[in-house]
Amino acid sequence: MKTFIKVIAVLVGTSVAGLLTWRKIESDRARNDLWTEAEKVSAQQDASA
C-alpha cells in the first residue's frame, strides 16, 4: 500500500509540474506575441508621422 501511495504522489506531482510549466510557456508566448504586435504598431505609427 505504501508503494501505491508513493506512485500516486509522484504521478500527481509530475502532472502538476507539467501543467505549471505548460501555463508558463503559454503565458510567455502570449506576452511575446503582444510585444511583437506593439512593436509593429509603433513602427507603423513612426512611419506615418
Query: pLDDT for 22-38, tens place per residue?
Result: 999 999 999 999 899 99
* Residue 19 pLDDT > 90: yes
pLDDT at 48: 85
Quick check: pTM over 0.75?
no
CA-CA-CA-CA torsion sign (2, 8, 11, 16):
negative
For range 1-7, the mean pLDDT: 96
What percentage of the chain exceeds 70 in pLDDT?
100
User: How many Å apart are CA 17 and CA 1, to the nearest integer?
Assistant: 24
Residue 49's SS3 state is coil
User: How many Å apart are CA 11 and CA 14, to the nearest integer?
Assistant: 5
User: How many Å apart are CA 29 and CA 36, to the nearest integer?
Assistant: 10
* Residue 21 pLDDT > 90: yes
* Residue 49 pLDDT > 80: no
CA max distance for the chain: 72
